[in-house]
Chain A
Amino acid sequence: AQSVAQPEDQVNVAEGNPLTVKCTYSVSGNPYLFWYVQYPNRGLQFLLKYITGDNLVKGSYGFEAEFNKSQTSFHLKKPSALVSDSALYFCAVRGPWRGNTPLVFGKGTRLSVIA
């Protein structure tokens, strides 16, 4: 079965510093990986995805993620954090063997950017 692990419940970073939110996955075959952000009492917003191709994926709001097959990781990064980036971040994976396979989400990582 496919699964996602986000090892950090909370990540604190100073404004202007680079940020990394970690994600590792487990899936049979090639994974389809996603990052979402959630602001309080709101639905999830899609940030970026990796399906195939370049291991470095660029997404919305200056975020990017690096797919590493050997380490089964898909860490979310941003070169310079903003206070407005403070939110709950979810990594998700979808297995390739069925087109209708639902996304499986990690438990989420709360990012706090301190001014």
Chain B
Amino acid sequence: SQTIHQWPATLVQPVGSPLSLECTVEGTSNPNLYWYRQAAGRGLQLLFYSVGIGQISSEVPQNLSASRPQDRQFILSSKKLLLSDSGFYLCAWTSTGFTEAFFGQGTRLTVV
């Protein structure tokens, strides 16, 4: 069966520090991968999605970037964190086609 792993679960970082969040999927190949951010326990904002290695689509220009160095690995990064980057970050995957998305357990990022 397929599983998605996301870490770390919580992270407290100072303003101006770098960020790296990692997400990996097991049990499938060539997944579509997504990074969402959820602010204040409400709606989800799509940040990035990828349909293949090295292919990244950015939905919202901001202080973050994403990379997909391997088929089942998706990384969210920042060179310098801002206070406004605080939030709950969720990684998700879908198979090609009109299927549902499966989510990781999320990372709670607090920028101080």
Contacts and interface: CB of A to CB of B under 8 A. Distances in A.
A51 to B, nearest CB: 6
Contact of A43 (B32, B41, B100, B104): B104
Indicate the size class of the contact surface on chain A. Answer: 20 to 34
A4 to B, nearest CB: 10
B103 A44 contact: yes
A22 interface: no
8 contacts: A41-B88, A43-B90, A43-B104, A44-B44, A44-B90, A100-B49, A106-B43, A108-B42
B101 A46 contact: yes
Interface in A83-101: 88, 90, 92, 94, 96, 99-100
A32 B105 CA distance: 24
Interface residues of B, number: 27
A103 interface: yes
Contact of B46 (A32, A40, A51, A102): A102
Interface in B65-112: 88, 90, 92, 94, 96-98, 100-106, 108
A40 B35 CA distance: 19
A32 B99 CA distance: 9
